[in-house]
Amino acid sequence: MSRDRAVSDVLGFVIVFSLVAATVGIVSVSGIGILQDARNAEQLNNAERAFDVLADNMADIHQEGAPSRSTEIKLDNARLEVRDPIEINVTGVNPTGTNPSVSYSSTPIMYEGRSDTAIVYEGGAVFRDAPQGGVVSEQPPFRFSDGEVIIPIIQTQQMGNTTSISGGTVRVRAERAVREPLPEFVQREADYDALIVNITSPRYRLWRRYLEDDADATCKITRPETVQCRIDDPKRLAVTRTLINFEFET
Task: Please give the model's pTM, rounded to 2 decimal places.
Answer: 0.84
11 belongs to a structural domain: no
pLDDT at 96 over 90: no
Question: Helix or strand or coil: residue 151?
Answer: strand
pLDDT at 180 over 50: yes
pLDDT at 1 over 70: no
CA distances from 186 to 139, 150, 192, 218 (A): 22, 9, 11, 22
Cα–Cα distance measured from residue 183 to residue 240, given in angstroms and rounded to the nearest whole number: 9
5 belongs to a structural domain: no
128 belongs to a structural domain: yes
18 belongs to a structural domain: no
Helix/strand/coil (H/E/C) assignment for every residue in 91-107 = EEECCCCCCCEEEEEEC
The sign of the dihedral angle between the CA atoms of 41, 43, 46, 51 is: negative
- Helix and strand numbers, DSSP H then E, in the chain: 2, 16
C-alpha 236: how far from its chain's center? Answer: 29
71 belongs to a structural domain: yes
155 belongs to a structural domain: yes
Cα–Cα distance measured from residue 242 to residue 250, given in angstroms and rounded to the nearest whole number: 26
Question: Helix or strand or coil: residue 32?
Answer: helix
Condensed to tens digits (0 to 9), the pLDDT of residues 103-161 reads: 999 999 999 988 889 999 999 999 999 988 899 999 999 999 999 999 999 999 999 88
Number of domains in the chain: 1
pLDDT at 176 over 70: yes
230 belongs to a structural domain: yes
Average pLDDT, integer, range 208-226 = 96
The residue range of the domain holding 236 is 37-249
2 belongs to a structural domain: no
Condensed to tens digits (0 to 9), the pLDDT of residues 13-48 reads: 566 666 655 555 554 555 555 656 667 678 889 999
